[in-house]
Structure 1
Amino acid sequence: MGVVYLAALLVTLGCMLLLDRRFRLFFWRDAIAASVVTLVGLAFFLVWDIAGIAGGIFFRGEGVIATGVLLAPELPLEEPVFLVFLVVCTMVIFTGAIRVLDALRRRAGRGGTP
């Protein structure tokens, strides 16, 4: 039962990557830029988490669905996986929204209804 959260994160991350692959939105559009954005986003949020932990704001919950493995005090193994999911999900949604809005603008420009 201790890997349920980690497994759920990995499955949902996989689903985001499948959407990305299908519509070529982020990694399948420009793998180098996507890798840089993902690593910078992960680093930013890890620094944020570490600052919150050091300030006594963030605490690790005692969940039976978590692995219990800590990378640092109050920093569970699942946290960086969640942060990568957060960055990838955000970028897939963002790039997908840009594509949809561009298509709507082109359609409206041709005299179609949006």
Structure 2
Amino acid sequence: MPGIYLLAILVSAGGIAALDARWRLAGWRAPGRTAIAVAIGTAFFLIWDAVGIATGVFVKGDSPLLVGIDLAPQLPLEEPFFLAFLCYLALVAWAGALRVLARRSAKTNVDAAERPA
């Protein structure tokens, strides 16, 4: 069924955006910086893909789940969406990990301050 892969990427991105909105991790905390980081990451990986395609390392498989539109030879329409999702997911995961570590560190400091000397 054409388009299922793109739909899966968009639904997954929506789920990550919901987590981001709930915890204000990346895009909901600093939308401009997040957009720039996702754009730069996506551009980097598209260049990486172009080099891989040119050298014959990356080849688009034949799948009925793809929309069927190629942006360039061996570069399906879904690829930039996937790369943007990957970059956004990495930012949200990183921000979430930093928040967990900061809370753990703060709790450790509070616990240490409450102990008798």
Residues paired across the two proteins, number: 112
1:15-57 CA-to-partner distances (Å, cap 9, x unmatched) read: 1111111110001101111011010000000000000000110
Partner of 1:91: 91
Q: What's the offset of the Cα at 1:68?
A: 1.3
Distance 1:67 1:73 in 2: 15
Distance 1:82 1:71 in 2: 14
Q: Which runs of 5+ in 2 are unaligned?
A: 113-117
Partner of 2:15: 15
Partner of 2:30: 30
Q: What is the 5 A alignment of 1:1-114?
A: 1-111=1-111
Distance 1:80 1:7 in 2: 13
1:38-94 CA-to-partner distances (Å, cap 9, x unmatched) read: 100000000000000001100001011111110000000000000011001011000
- Give TM-score, length-normalised by structure 2: 0.94
Q: Which runs of 5+ in 1 are unaligned?
A: none
Q: Percent identity between the aligned chains?
A: 42
- Give TM-score, length-normalised by structure 1: 0.96
* Superposed structure 1 runs of 4+ greater than 2 Å apart: none
Q: Which protein shows a greater Rg?
A: 2
